[in-house]
Amino acid sequence: MTTVCVPDGDLADRLRAAVPEADVVVWNGHADPPEGLDRVSVVVPPYPEAGWTAEQFTRLPAATVLQVLSAGTEAWLAIAPPGLTVCNGRGVHGSSTAELAVTGLLSHWHALPVLAEQQRAHRWAPVQAETAWGRHVVVVGAGDIGRTVAAALAVFGARTTLCGRAARDGVAPVADLPQLCATADALVLAVPLDEATRGLVDAALLARLPDAAVVVNVARGPVVDTAALLAELVAGRLRAVLDVTDPEPLPADHPLWAAPGLVLTPHVGGGAAGWRERAGRLVADQVRRELDGRPLDNVVRPGDADPGDDR
C-alpha cells in the first residue's frame, strides 16, 4: 500500500478513481494535520506553491517522493529534505506555456500591439505584417515547453534551433548561444532557473541579437537581466514577451510597465484550463509506478544526486 498526500479533494477524487488501491490523504500543508500523515510516502504539494517551507516536511517523516505540479522545481529543491526524490510537473503546463510563448511572438510579428492602439484610436491604417516563415528562432531549453514551441513554429515555416546544457542530437550547447543569437530573429527562453541559467541573458548576449529581434521569456524572471533588457526596449532596438519578471510580482511603479515593444503577462502561461486533468493523470501514473516498483518519471533529483535532464 502506497500512501499519497494530495493538496485538495479534487485531486484526491481523481487519484482514487484512477488508482483505487492507493491510500489517499488530503492536506495542503496549512490545515490541521490529518490522520495518516505520518505514513505518507508520496507528497503532492499545492500548485501554486502556497507558502510551503521546510517546516511542512517535518510533518511527513515517511516521505520518499515529492511530486510537484509546477514545471520549475528551484523553490522545492531549496526546501526538500536530502534523500527525498523530487519530480517535476512536466506535461502539466507545457502545452499552454508553449502556446503563450508562440502567441506573444506572433503578436509582435503581426503588429497586434500596434493595431490594438489604432483600434483604441479608431484609426484604420493597415500595417504590413512580419511572418514566421523563414525566420530563425533560437529556443533555449530542450524540454517539454521548448520542444513544443519549436514544433509549433516549424509548422509556420520558421527555422528553429534548440539549445540545451550540453550538445546532443538536434540540440546545440548553451556555449553556442552568442553565435546563435547573432542570426536569431527571436530568442525563446524555456529553461529551469538554477545557478547556470541565472542571468544567462545579459547585456552582452542581448547585444548579439539583431535589431527588432524578439526576446520571449516563459522560464523564470532572473534568467534575464532586467535592466539590460529594459535598456534595449527603451532604445527601441529589441522587442519582448515576458510572462515572468524579475522582480515578480512586478511592482506598480516598475519601468517595465511602460516599456515600448513589450507584451507583458502576469505569469499565466501554466495555469490555463485543463491543467488539473493533466495533473491528475501525472500523479496517477507516478503512483502506479511507485506501486509497481517501476522507475518514476520526471525525476530532477533522485535523493541527493543530480542526474541531469533534458534542459
Question: 103 and 73 in one domain?
Answer: no
Which helix (DSSP H) or strand (DSSP E) does residue 160 occupy?
strand 159-164
Rounded CA-CA distance 268/48 in Å is 11
- Please give the DSSP secondary-structure letter assigned to residue 52: -
Give domain status of residue 307, yes or no: no
In the chain, % of residues over pLDDT 90: 90
Question: 279 and 295 in one domain?
Answer: yes
pLDDT of residue 71: 86
Question: 98 and 9 in one domain?
Answer: no
Mind telling me the catalytic residues?
Answer: 220, 248, 267
Edge-to-edge strand ranges of the sheet holding 299-301 = 23-26, 3-6, 42-43, 65-67, 85-87, 299-301
pLDDT of residue 306: 38
pLDDT in tens, 33-75: 999 999 999 999 999 877 899 999 999 999 999 999 998 898 8
**Residue 8: all three cell numbers together:** 485538495
Q: Which domain holds residue 296?
A: 3-92+273-301
pLDDT in tens, 241-282: 999 999 999 999 999 999 999 999 999 998 888 999 999 999
- Buried b / exposed e over 265-295, threshold 16 CB at 10 Å, is eebebbeeeebbebbbebbbbbbebbeeeee
Question: For the chain, give me the number of helices (H) and strands (E)?
Answer: 10, 13
Check which CATH number belongs to the domain holding 83 and give it. Answer: 3.40.50.720
Question: How many distinct structural domains can be found in the chain?
Answer: 2
Q: How distant, in Å, are the alpha carbons of 49, 245, 248, 257, 266 from that of 251?
A: 20, 10, 8, 9, 11
